[in-house]
Structure 1
Amino acid sequence: MRKNQLGSSDLLVSEIGLGCMSLGTDKQAAMRLVEQALELGVNFFDTADLYDDGLNESIVGEAIRSRRQDVVLATKVGNRRVPGQEGWVWDPSKAYIKDSVKGSLQRLQTDYIDLYQLHGGTLDDPIDETIEAFEELKQEGLIRYYGISSIRPNVIREYAKRSNMVSVMSQYSILDRRPEEEVLPLLAEKGISLIARGPVAKGILTGNGRAKADKGYLDYGKDEAIHVREQLLELDLQERSLSQSAIRYALSPPAVAIAIPGASSFEQLRLNVEAGNAAPLSDLELEAIRRISRANRYEQHR
């Protein structure tokens, strides 16, 4: 599988990664899926302390333990559980980040994290303090690099200006082209990579995704989402499946280093990996897809 450099780091990541949130809580099945991903050439695994209240990190950590040197391991921080209180609260403070990394390291059964990501963020956060926490963790050898997971262009802009982050994880697909106007040009200019999550738009852009389009997607209503899907299926996309074409679309901008579709079965995983082995979309194919879809923009998320 092709590998790309992640931003200015020395991390080489497989074009197709595994978004581990979809692994589920069946430990043996989830571990087997991680092992199968490794066998298929996937080396980037993204989890978070938030997923299944830490269980996801534990499963991933155990599954990769014997092949840690072959893996680029990413996790996230910023959501804090308050004893006696339901849900999570947002906490991007230096104290919390530096304390939280210890739990992630323990669950992941490793002494370092390749990519530590802020799991959200707003302009009201103590951004300089947050950056300081990540920089100190780098100096201490507990993390190698850091990035943010965000769909807020104004927040991304601040971190791009103030920090040494190497990546931004953001939702990006044919049905969510919001990063194209504001985010991708900025990242390309700064030498920061985009990690594209949601490339198949909750399964709508897959072979059996017709029913999933019934709820619409972002600013696409049900009928629009179905119509776009049908038009994409009518395109001559060089024998690629719809999901492969969708993933290749997310990988097409130069700033995108990796796409991380989720997978809860080996068949889904296999199809995702095949997209990594498929030919990139041509300029004509990209133009055809853009004529069919909408260049939507960030509105509320600033």
Structure 2
Amino acid sequence: MKRNQLGKSDIYVSELTLGCMSLGQDKNKAKEIIDTALAQGINHLDTADLYDFGLNEEIIGEIIKDRRQDIILTTKAGNHFSKETKDWFWDPSKGYIVQAAKESLKRLQTDYIDFFMLHGGTLDDPIEETIEAMEELKQDGLIRAYGISSIRPNVIDTFINKSSIDGVMLQYNLLDRRPEENVLKQLESNQISAIVRGPLAKGMLSTYYKENITKKAAKGFLDYNQTELLETAEAIAELAGGMPMNELALKYVLQHPAVTTITFGASTKEQVMENTAADLTADLPEDLYVKLKEHTKRNIYEQHRV
């Protein structure tokens, strides 16, 4: 599987990333999923301290401790949580970010985190303080690079201008083209990687799109109503001309030069195999890429713009 540079860092991640939020609490099953992903050429695992209140990190740490050198590990912080009471509050303060990183290191059984992300954020945060924490963690060798997980254009713009982030995780797919308005251009021009989540739009761009749209989208999705979703997905499937819907959806996202890797979740090894079966070695033909844009809405971010 192709590997791409993460921002300006010396980190190279596979085009597909295993999002670990759905691994579950059964260590043996989680190991099966991770082992399958690694065998398929994935080298990048994405987790967060809040997932199962730290247990997700603990399980991953135990599974990968003997092959840590083969893996690029991402985790996130900012949600100040209690494992005992199962609640949390937003805390991007310097003190907490540093503390959270050190606690993640213990749970992950490692002495460094490859990529460390702020798990959200608004303009009301003490952003300079957050950046200072990230820079100190980087200087101390506890993290190799850092970024943010956010779909707020104003927050992304602020971090681009004030920090040395190497990546931004955001939602992007054929039904959510909001990043195309400006964010992806900003990231590309600043050599910052887009780390995409939600490429299959909750399964509405998968092989099972009819079933997923019927079950999950009674109220629509962004500026699509349910009828529009079904019509749009049918049009996309027809344009695919026999190409699996999953593959088409992944290729569309990867076609943008700002995109470095796509994160997908999996709760079974079969789901890993299905997503890694896509042939991503060649781009979509340009005429098909254009037609896909013509058959989908060019939606835009309506909030958090200034």
Do these two structures clear the TM 0.5 threshold for a shared fold by scoring above it?
yes
The count of aligned residue pairs is: 301
**In 1, Cα distance between the equivalents of 2:18 and 2:175?**
20
1:64 Cα shift? 1.5
In structure 1, the residue corresponding to 2:147 is in which secondary structure? strand
* CA shift digits 1:236-287 (9 cap, x unpaired): 45x4210111011111110100001111222221121122545221211111
Q: Which runs of 5+ in 1 are unaligned?
A: none
Contact map agreement 1:4 1:14 (CA 8 A) in 2: yes
**In 2, Cα distance between the equivalents of 1:84 and 1:266?**
31
Q: Which runs of 5+ in 2 are unaligned?
A: none
Over the matched positions of the two proteins, sequence identity in percent amounts to: 52
2:249 maps to amino acid: A
Residue 227, structure 1, aligned to residue 231, structure 2? yes
Corresponding position of 1:50: 50
1:114 Cα shift? 0.1
Residue 145, structure 1, aligned to residue 145, structure 2? yes
**In 2, Cα distance between the equivalents of 1:236 and 1:276?**
14
Contact map agreement 2:78 2:91 (CA 8 A) in 1: yes
Residue 218, structure 1, aligned to residue 212, structure 2? no
**In 2, Cα distance between the equivalents of 1:206 and 1:236?**
12
Distance 1:83 1:211, change over 3 A: closer
**What is the Cα-based RMSD across aligned positions, in Å?**
1.5
Corresponding position of 1:254: 257
Contact map agreement 1:43 1:71 (CA 8 A) in 2: yes
Corresponding position of 2:300: 297
Contact map agreement 1:93 1:126 (CA 8 A) in 2: yes
1:83 Cα shift? 8.2
2:12 maps to amino acid: L
> Which stretch shows the higher mean deviation, 75-84 or 110-119?
75-84
**In 2, Cα distance between the equivalents of 1:82 and 1:65?**
25
Contact map agreement 1:197 1:259 (CA 8 A) in 2: yes
TM, length-normalised to structure 1: 0.96
**In 2, Cα distance between the equivalents of 1:156 and 1:267?**
35
1:50 Cα shift? 0.8
1:301 Cα shift? 4.0
Distance 1:5 1:265, change over 3 A: same
**In 2, Cα distance between the equivalents of 1:71 and 1:226?**
39
Distance 1:146 1:276, change over 3 A: farther
Structure 1 moving runs of 4+ over 2 Å: 82-87, 274-279
Q: 1:240 aligns with which of 220, 231, 243?
A: 243
In the TM superposition, what are the counterparts of 1:60-71 in structure 2 within 5 Å?
60-71=60-71
